[in-house]
Amino acid sequence: MSIQLESTATPLVAMRGISKAYPGCLANDAVDLTLHEGQIHALLGENGAGKSTLVKILYGLLQADAGSIEWQGKPVQINSPAQARKLGIALVFQHFSLFDSLSVLENIALGMAVPANRKLESKIIEVSTRYGLPLDPDRQVYTLSVGERQRIEIVRCLLQSPKLLIMDEPTSVLTPQEVDDLFVTLRRLRDEGVAILYISHKLNEIKSLCSEATILRGGQRVATAVPDEESTQSLAALMMGDEIVVPTREARQPGDTVMLQLKAVSYATSEQHGVPLNDINLSLRAGEIVGIAGVAGNGQDEFMQVISGEVRLSDGNGLRLHGVPAGTISPSERRKLGLCCVPEERLGHAAVPGMSLADNAFLTAHHRSGLISGGMLSTGKTRRFTEQVINQFNVQCNGTASLAASLSGGNLQKFIVGREIEQQPSVFVVSQPTWGVDAGAAAAIHKSLQAMANAGTAVLVVSQDLDELMLISDRIAALCAGRLSDVYATHSVSIQDLGLLMGGAVIDSSNAGVSDLAGGLDSGTSTSDSAGAGDASA
Amino acid sequence: MISLEPRAEPSKLMGYAAPVIALVVTLLAGLVLFALLKVPVGEAFYAFFIDPISSVYGLSELGVKAAPLIMIAVALSIGYRANVWNIGAEGQLILGGICGGAVALYFYEVEGWFVLPLMIFAGILGGMLWAAIPALLKTRFNANEILTSLMLTYIAALLLSMLVHGPLRDPDGFNFPESRLFHAAATLPIILEGTRLHIGALVALLLVVVGWVLLSRTLLGFALKVNGQAPRAGLYAGFTQNRLIWFSLLFCGAAAGCAGLFEVAGPIGQLLPTISPGYGFTAIIVAFLGRLHPVGIVFAGLVMALSYLGGESAQISLNLPVAVTGVFQGMLLFFLLAADVLINYRVVWRSKAVKA
């Protein structure tokens, strides 16, 4: 108790009245944030609420227009990340900055601007074992999983013995087991007196990990709450401003028509660090949602490219759309057949960052939505289509001329998903639909996926977010090292089972012997025992 | 303390202002240069920038120089938008001159309406052929088109030299390395009596319109732009990259080849060992100075054409070396690239005082 009182007297960091304006928006409006040693503090808010801006100001990447920062009771001016690091502030970014072809040791040395020598190596091993973050300093980064890559970033921070560790959405890329491991590490750091600022929108995590939470909405601090004393609903309500309606599981009766069929698809990638696909079989029927779980880097990119047509198969029959062989045709021709895809990477893949929303709508919708007339682009039709997407999917932007890069992640994702849905596909394939997206936008996207399936579209969702897949999918499978597991009725598998499938294990021997997985294994109604027993390609 | 602060969004205003800033700074630096050369600054300024365009003939010469620059720059800009870096327009221009010129010499003294169209066709084909080499190497072996197209330029120059020293040399030319003078049916019609302004100027303007429509209104132009900015998004949308590379290079080869033919069939009137004062390279500067936009390129082309005329004029009236032209062109590109920083950054005078 006395410690508590002391720390209350001199907080480690006190940000007072921080304001920051961008052209056209006030990202932070007189925000206060106080952090104490030995405390895990959550920074909670929707995308665009001002979390990143606040953190960037604290880390010296941005300068506040107004307000002050006190470090251990003394006013400081943080002009650069180097200065922040000198004070003892470390930041683990959501997107890692690692060189794939260098070793762990070299990456850490580069990040800290020190030579990659034995001394550093032994320090890495010491820190990584002490905090339960096993790392082999000599491994090349491209051979590591996303979770292991995150460990590099964390170890890199810990080597500087920080007093304050900032974690930006750290669990969005981890398996359930990895999340547990991370929490053990974070709690140990907290017990050693490190202050942790934990940025997330996953309310369950915040409730289990954080002792205090600052909630931002529209650039303002709306509350400072004790997560333990709040319910998930009340936290969400604070964050969103009103009660959000989280979609619930729906039981669906899928149709009998197979809309998308993959038959013994193998694909050897030419990418340097790619994962070859091996004998993939899958049948997707009208009116169902099938989820594909798996840790990133297990062939998801290749799987998506094979389906979208960005890479072609040698045999057209390997992939059929409504029974039509489509393995060798281009993405635009597949779109004409009713297949719309949303790749994982929003900027640079699903959308062109430097182009307007109207141009980005035209990018994929020009054919299906008839945005070309007389061989020329129709700007009027394109604008109307874009406005329709913006309105239907509640995209926050400054109109159809806004650049894609100027939208927040969640808004851009809503726009991209909306753009494909508005083309009324008969087969819809989406990768990581809610990656880095706030709760409100995620709920909206989930609801539209469910609505599509109810309307008879065949929906395939590739995701690392198991909660998401358990919530929306009717059937589920996992991708591991380029192989696709059997497909199970979602209600018949537990999260633990799924974790095993993601690791490449086979669950329940009665399902394992089935070699031909094409076709429905169940119709959404069968029990767990019969899941995986069917075979015939429907 | 002056510092550069990243802008939230690229500045549209600066996109247009940067070329103007670059021009002004180039002008100032040029004046400093003249002063250092102990040339009267006022006189030099007049000789370089005013005198060349103070008569109708001068203006027509501006058009003669600007036409090939604009033709090539428009085509280059389309490729550059698509991330296809053709640096070898000069070589493509030379091949156009060779092929078209060879047709003119083959039909020497043959009067017929078909000669000139056939020459133009051959010139375009020659330029395309030369551009097809880097296209093939790029699409088939992923060879960098910057290197291959540039190196082919020197081969083209040597090829021309070889031909005018050998097979295409004027038989009655006392062994001078020149071809016969083209006859009337093989020379371009003049559009302004008493000048050298030929139909190339009109073709250049037509190409500006074509380039503008292509880039802003067609699916092909859209695909080119997407490929330039985000190639993966282009693949995802279903645009075939190799096709875009082929188109960019062939289109530019055609434009440069045509410009080369216009040079030999227009102002020059025969094949010489050198048929271009580096139009193919200068067009690169024109393309960037014009913001890779067809309309901007018209203005940029006129500015660069003036630098050619100014260099000649300064040489005649002030005894300055003709290299002054190259110096001005170089400075302009240099300052333009520097000024382009202002599109993404703003200059801030920051006081050291702590804000409270």
In this prediction, residue A14 carries a pLDDT of 92
Q: Distance between CA A238 and CA A77 in Å, rounded?
A: 31
Model pLDDT for residues A230-289, shown as the tens digit of each residue: 887 788 778 877 655 667 777 788 888 899 999 999 998 776 667 889 999 999 999 999
Q: Rounded to whole angstroms, how far apart are CA atoms B211 and B297?
A: 11
Mutate to test the interface with B, among A19, A342, A355, A363 (most CBs of B within 10 A): A363
Say if residues B123 and B186 touch (Cβ distance below 8 Å): no
Residues B186-213 pLDDT 10s: 999 998 888 999 999 999 999 999 999 9
Q: Supply the pLDDT for residue A269.
A: 78
Report pLDDT for A272.
66
> Which of A68, A330, A351 is opposite residue B238, by nearest beta carbon?
A330
A438 vs A396, residue with greater confidence = A396
Question: A-B interface: how many C-beta pairs under 8 angstroms?
Answer: 76
**Better-scored residue on pLDDT, A506 or B124:** B124
Residue A450 has pLDDT above 60, yes or no: yes
Distance of alpha carbon A365 from alpha carbon A372, whole angstroms: 10
The tokens describing A91, both together, are 């930041």
Q: Which of A3-12, A271-280, A520-529 is predicted with the least confidence, judged by mean pLDDT?
A: A520-529
Let me know if A81 is exposed, middle or buried by CB neighbors in 10 A (0-12, 13-18, 19+): middle
What's the pLDDT score for residue A8?
A: 52
* CA nearest neighbour of A72 among A87, A92, A82, A90: A87
Helices A357-365 & A409-421 angle (0-180, nearest 10) = 40
**CA proximity to A57, closest of A36, A43, A40:** A43
Look at A180 and A426; give whichever has higher pLDDT. Answer: A426
For the segment(s) A245-338+425-538, the CATH number from 3.30.465.10, 3.10.20.600, 2.60.40.60, 3.40.50.300 is: 3.40.50.300
Instruction: Inform me whether the C-beta atom of residue A341 falls under 8 Å from chain B C-beta atoms.
Output: yes
Q: What is the pLDDT of residue B321?
A: 82
Tokens of B290: 């014009």
For A309, which of B225, B232, B238 is closest by C-beta distance?
B238
Mean pLDDT calculated for residue range A417-427: 94
Query: Would you say B178 and B271 are in contact if contact means Cβ atoms under 8 Å apart?
Result: yes
Is the pLDDT score of A530 beyond 50?
Answer: no
Residue A453, both tokens? 């399936």
Residue B180 per-residue DSSP state? P
What sign does the CA torsion over A402, A403, A407, A411 have?
positive
pLDDT-derived band at A514, boundaries 50, 70, 90: very low
pLDDT single digits (tens) A47-70: 678 888 899 999 998 888 999 999
Residue A39 has what pLDDT?
92
What is the per-residue pLDDT for A499? 76
In this structure, what token pair is assigned to residue A121? 């190596």
CA-based nearest residue to A469, from A444, A441, A494, A486: A494
Look at residue A275 and give its three-state secondary structure: coil
> What are the residue boundaries of the structural domains of chain B, listed by start?
40-319
Closest CA to A504 of A527, A522, A477: A477
Would you give the DSSP letter of residue A50? S
Strands across the sheet containing A212-217 = A89-92, A164-168, A195-200, A40-45, A212-217, A220-225
B209 and A CB contact within 8 Å = no
CATH no. for B40-319: 1.10.3470
Helices B145-165, B89-106: axis angle to 10 degrees equals 30
- What digits encode the pLDDT tens for the residues A345-394? 888 999 999 899 999 999 999 988 999 988 889 999 999 999 999 998 88
Q: Looking at chain B, list the stretches that DSSP marks H as alpha helix, in order from N- to C-terminal side.
A: 12-36, 41-45, 56-81, 89-106, 115-141, 145-165, 200-217, 219-229, 231-237, 241-263, 279-289, 294-318, 323-339, 341-344
State in words which class domain A2-88+162-240 has: alpha beta
Q: Which positions in chain B touch A332 (Cβ < 8 Å)? A: 237-238
User: Which residue is it, tokens 């470390």?
Assistant: A90
Inspect the interface and report whether the beta carbons of A332 and B354 lie closer than 8 Å.
Answer: no
Task: Give yes or no on whether A2-88+162-240 and A245-338+425-538 have one common fold.
Answer: yes
Report CB contact under 8 Å: A359, B222: yes
Sign of CA dihedral B133, B139, B145, B147: negative
Interface contact A309, partner B, CB < 8 A: yes
What's the confidence (pLDDT) of residue A528? 37
> How far is it, in rounded angstroms, from Cα B265 to Cα A98?
58
Taking the CA of residue B343 and the nearest CA in chain A, the distance in Å comes to 13
Residues with pLDDT less than 50, chain B? 353-356
Tell whether A425 lies on the interface with B, counting CB pairs under 8 A: no
Instruction: Render pLDDT for A17-45 as a digit per residue (tens, 0 to 9).
Output: 999 987 667 888 899 999 999 999 999 88
- pLDDT-based confidence at residue A522 (cuts at 50, 70, 90): very low
Average pLDDT for chain A? 84
- B229 touches A at CB < 8 Å: yes
Cα-Cα-Cα-Cα dihedral of B106, B111, B116, B117, to 10°? -100
Residues on chain B touching A376 (C-beta within 8 angstroms): 213, 217-218
CA distance A492 to A527: 7
Q: In this predicted structure, what is the pLDDT of residue A525?
A: 37
* Domain positions in chain A: 2-88+162-240, 245-338+425-538, 352-420
For residue B213, the chain A residue with the least C-alpha distance is A376
Q: Which of B209, B236, B355 to mutate to test the interface with A (most CBs of A within 10 A)?
A: B236
Sign of CA dihedral A445, A446, A449, A451: negative
Tokens 């009137």 belong to: B269
pLDDT in tens, A107-166: 888 877 788 888 889 989 988 888 888 888 888 888 887 778 888 888 888 888 899 999
